[in-house]
Amino acid sequence: MTDVTSTINPNQYPVSGIALDPADTSGQTAFLTVMGFHASHVFKTTNAGATWADFTTNLPDAPADAVIVDAGTVFVGTDVGVFWSSTANPSWTELGPSAAFGATGFLPNVPVTALRIFNSGGKKLLRASTYGRGIWEYDLIAAPDYQVRVSNPTLTIFPTQSATFNGTLTALNGYSSQVTLSCAGTIVPATCIPNPSLTTPAPTPGQAFTVTTVGLVGDYPFTFQAAGSDPSSLAHDAAVTLHVVDFALSAPSPAAGSVPQASHSSVITLQVTPLGSFSGTVTSPVRQACPAEPPAASRHHRSCLTCRQPLCLRLRRWPARHLAQRR
């Protein structure tokens, strides 16, 4: 046996894998992976190992543990995930969905110990075994699809206000069918109007839409339902919650009282009751409207002047945006 890797692996790190490129019927094109740090990790040969070209480029500096080639793509499992590149020119991308808010699907941050490709039921699956975190799979023939996301899924308003939810429909893998938007759930606000109600998802950053809602006092956990017009009738939901809140003020007790001049009244009690999931602050400055000067007939009797004017209570409620911050 002749060592054909001595010139590309001077540190003698373990060679973790070698994969032939099935596109080369001569069997002379192969990819090789090397473990270790601060070294090149992927190499390519087109002459059965007589010479090697460094294929690492932008791959993370972490041990490369497994390699497999399929349909013009080379996949490499590393200590920090699975990456893919064209077999023609090295340019590595982590395999998985877009790294956006709410997106899931990237492998755990553990070593990938092996890679295999399975063809089954019209699907081509890449499966990766990991160190201590199980086996994962990725569909290499992803069908067109779309995502529904809402940037402000929880809103709080008063009954006299309206709330506007902001969402996006993002096309995946070339999805191009129209999607109908509606409000669904067991508890839906009296007014729930998507705009537009029929639209087509767009690639990132997506097609924007809004949903305007109005309701009586109460909590409304419901969903925005998206139904695609594609042959598979793909449907997706986005969960949102609308809180419509208010407060009630009881009659003062006692309702009236007599206060001698230059004195204080007894305590007058009012009850403020939250309605719905109200959690804001209510302030109640009191203003007494008394004449600046006593009546002309009483100007010589100021010591016994009384004021029979109603008290004015002005209650102020926090705006909805403050309530949302307090929740």
pLDDT at residue 303, rounded to an integer: 41
Task: Provide the CATH number for the domain formed by 15-139 in this structure.
Answer: 2.130.10.10
* Structural fold of domain 145-244: Immunoglobulin-like (2.60.40)
Q: Which residue blocks in the chain are alpha helix, DSSP H?
A: 320-326
CB neighbour burial string for 202-219, b if at least 16 within 10 angstroms, e if fewer: beeebbebebebbbebee
Name the segment(s) of the chain with CATH classification 2.60.40.10: 145-244
What whole-number distance in Å separates Cα of residue 54 and Cα of residue 262?
95
User: What pTM, to 2 d.p., does this model score?
Assistant: 0.53
Q: Is the pLDDT of residue 318 over 70?
A: no
DSSP 297: G
pLDDT at residue 184, rounded to an integer: 94
Instruction: For 5-59, write each residue's pLDDT tens digit.
Output: 768 888 888 999 999 998 888 889 999 999 989 989 999 999 988 899 999 999 9
Pairing outcome for strands 235-244 and 246-249: unpaired
Cβ(156)–Cβ(320) under 8 Å?
yes
Name the segment(s) of the chain with CATH classification 2.130.10.10: 15-139
Instruction: For 160-177, write each residue's pLDDT tens digit.
Output: 999 999 999 998 878 999
DSSP letter string, 146-211:
EEEEES--EEEE-TT--EEEEEEEEEETT----EEEEEESSS--SEEEEESSEE--BSTT-EEEEE
